[in-house]
Amino acid sequence: MPINILMPALSPTMEKGNLAKWLKKEGDKVKSGDVIAEIETDKATMEVEAIDEGTIAKILVPEGTQDVAVNDVIAVLAGEGEDVAAASTGAARPGPSAGQHKAPEKAAAAPAQAPAPSAPKADLTAAAPVGPAARGNGHGRVFSSPLARRLAKDAGIEIARIVGTGPHGRIIARDVEQAKEQVKSGKAPEAPTPAIAPTMSDKQVLALFEPGSYDIIPHDGMRRTIAQRLTASIQSVPHFYLTIDCDIGKLLAAREEVNAAAPKDKEKKPLYKLSVNDFIIKAMAVALQKNPNCNVSWTDSGMLKHHHSDVGVAVAMPGGLITPIIRKAETKTLSAISSEMKDFAARARARKLKPEEYQGGTTAVSNLGMFGISHFTAVINPPHATILAVGASEERTVVKGGKIEIAHMMSVTLSCDHRAIDGALGAELIGTFKQLIENPVMMMV
């Protein structure tokens, strides 16, 4: 039966691509693993290889065609022993989304009536990208990358017994390496089992534990919302992470001096007491103003470039966390930020914040330093394009001017939405933050 070759997805978010070049022509025989075409995305050109053996019966989308939709039929493969002419005649035509350039007249002349029983099935594919987005067809074939097949062959492992963890269950190099480790440890790779969904059902989870060995605590609305939002974020937002170490010796000295000079109320209590986190909020706000292309939110229709730095601050509370927002933080004094955060934290733990006080914002800060955590990464909370994870301040040995000294160091990690912020731009933002936090007087300039 003829098999449709579909436009493959080269990334999870790819919707269209350019068919740059055909490396096979009509009438050419191909076997599994043969490179048959080159596909261009906005960032790379990738080769597409055949999965099935047969003969190229008809090319429906000519090379040079732009904006071919994923899953559009680009060619038809006649299987072994099939009549190539018949497969060509029954070829499905690409839809109107196949590209900006029209196909040749001979392709346009393909029959418009419903295909005969021997026409290719739309749910089959005879091609897969040599890269991270192979597409399976659900008909029992073992889909794997060329590198994985070579590694498995060299190791003497039957590839059909390896469980694939790549997109759509494709077997990739790391799966083979894991199988090799199992063989070394005396545990042969088990035959593939159906993939477990990212979230197992209640029944599947409970079946793993002895009845009576646990208590079930129902989720409240906050925990469900946190789970939904962060799952959606990590699945749909391409995160990357930038870590830098900051010497906060000057900051600690300035904080001590400012707190000592704080005015007192009638009861002789200081009107404010600055925390390190107050400086971090201010530094992040000013850094975004100095790097306005990072003070953004991604939307499909365009980039939102914000005028002010509205900094959300993660506050732990029973059953979860919430992120109240310091609006226009770049315009506020450290004492004002400190006072606002104390009020937010108290009302957050009492669940008395108003929606407008925790919804929106342009970035966020998550500080686990008070728990002794030296380094971690945080999940972006859309519509933010960044979040800063702050570790503990600790004394470390550093080299200054060729001499070993003791310094108060703090590691911070910036998570960035790669759709909105590229690596170099994110590096500029975290570099500016480092300058400000190491020289707090610069926040006032």
- Return the active site residues: 418
Q: How far apart are CA 400 and CA 398, in angstroms?
A: 6
Q: How far apart are CA 370 and CA 364, in angstroms?
A: 17
Query: What are the φ and ψ backbone dihedral angles of 142, each rounded to 5 degrees?
Result: -95, 110
Evaluated on CA atoms 436, 440, 441, 445, the torsion sign reads positive
State both tokens at 196. Answer: 């477990």
Listed in order, strand segments (DSSP E) in 269-385 are: 296-298, 303-305, 311-313, 315-317, 320-322, 325-326, 363-367
Q: How far apart are CA 97 and CA 67, in angstroms?
A: 8
- In which residue are the tokens 């269209």 written? 16
Angstrom CA distances, 255 to 251, 259, 376, stand at 6, 6, 25
How does DSSP classify residue 419?
T
- State the burial class of residue 339 (Cβ atoms within 10 Å of its Cβ: 0-12, 13-18, 19+): middle
Q: How far apart are CA 57 and CA 352, in angstroms?
A: 67
Q: How far apart are CA 409 and CA 430, in angstroms?
A: 15
Q: How far apart are CA 340 and CA 312, in angstroms?
A: 12
